[in-house]
Amino acid sequence: MSIEVKNVHKQFGSFTALNNVNLHIETGELVALLGPSGCGKTTLLRIIAGLETPDTGSILFAGEDSTDVHVRQRQVGFVFQHYALFRHMTVFENVAFGLRVRPRKLRPSEAQIQEKVHSLLNLVQLDWLADRYPSQLSGGQRQRIALARALAVEPRVLLLDEPFGALDAKVRKELRRWLRRLHDDLHVASVFVTHDQEEALEVADRVVLMNAGNIEQVGTPREVWQSPATPFVYGFLGDVNQFNGVADRGGLRIDDYTLPVPAHPDASNAKAVAYVRPHELDVERYRPGDAGIVVKLSRVYLAGPSAYLELDRAGHDIPIEAEIPVAAFQALDFKEGETLVVRPRSAQVFLT
């Protein structure tokens, strides 16, 4: 079932939590809401779920306005970060809960409940834990049971708020791959909230980048990573160096170096900033007359296949970071304290 968020606005007092947000999610899509703390991700998810009402705007499920449809009628499966399993119920009863509280006429028989719950527990690969209590499970197991419980009511939409937030890195990685497979099997529309860019980029079909109540960009992981639409997205996704300069007739002047900027051929003496990823910088030993931004190598550290160079630039507090292959670093044999030059191989330039 597709989800349409239309002109949704939400204030908390004078604070704007969502500023006229629009978003379309297709059936079968797994979408990540990604952004810093307080940007409005959870508020948007809660409005989609029907747990919160927008001040203006509407939510359409399969093209039909559901703004006034009660949470229970929306057929939404919801999983929160803090495992909201009932402590006094077994795993089996936790998953059965949504079926048992249905109105008598819609309630399945005991035999149907047995069959359904065991099939869901099999789906999350935890049928062997049916008789345990939540306190006897690991964090990752609890999350999978919470998902099984959300799926029991046959949701047409699956909403997950930081589902793996409280787990350690290895379990998170396993669970997100597992979520991806589960989502594909179920063919529902799923939306999950995360502030972890790696999680969003690895799992989602599309990523929605949010900042201060606004959507900054919506795109596939590849699109948002390779072509960030705004300086905010550039800064939020991965490490990036910023070079302030003056754009003039197709070039950006940074110190004595002019970086070609074909994207802004008509800019005339305009302030601009170039965003450059650490691996997009060429680094060479300085020789007088060389074209480039002159820096001093202050620190080097090796991590896996890359060498990371911390480079100081006269008059600037924030060091430049460059990433080069370890083999190249060893061949160049740079020493800490040496003067080098850097040149961006590619850059995205925004006029400021």
Ligand X SMILES: Nc1ncnc2c1ncn2[C@@H]1O[C@H](COP(=O)(O)OP(=O)(O)OP(=O)(O)O)[C@@H](O)[C@H]1O
Residue numbers of the site for ligand X (CB under 6 A)? 12, 15, 17, 35, 37-43, 195
CB of 161 to ligand X, least distance (A): 8
Residue 12 or 86 with smaller CB distance to ligand X:
12
Residue 38 or 219 with smaller CB distance to ligand X:
38
Cβ proximity of 327 and 304 under 8 Å: no
Token digits of residue 36: 């810093």
| Closest of 66, 68, 54, 67 to residue 9, by C-alpha | 54
| Closest of 159, 188, 208, 153 to residue 49, by C-alpha | 159
CB count in 10 Å sphere of residue 252: 25
Residue 41 or 206 with smaller CB distance to ligand X:
41
Place of tokens 């939510």: 59
**Cα separation, 218 vs 194, whole angstroms:** 15
**3-state SS, one letter per residue, for 184-227:** HHHCCEEEEEECCHHHHHHHCCEEEEEECCEEEEEECHHHHHHC
CB of 309 to ligand X, least distance (A): 33
CB of 6 to ligand X, least distance (A): 18
Residue 2 or 214 with smaller CB distance to ligand X:
214
CB of 49 to ligand X, least distance (A): 12
Residue 163 or 292 with smaller CB distance to ligand X:
163
CB of 55 to ligand X, least distance (A): 13
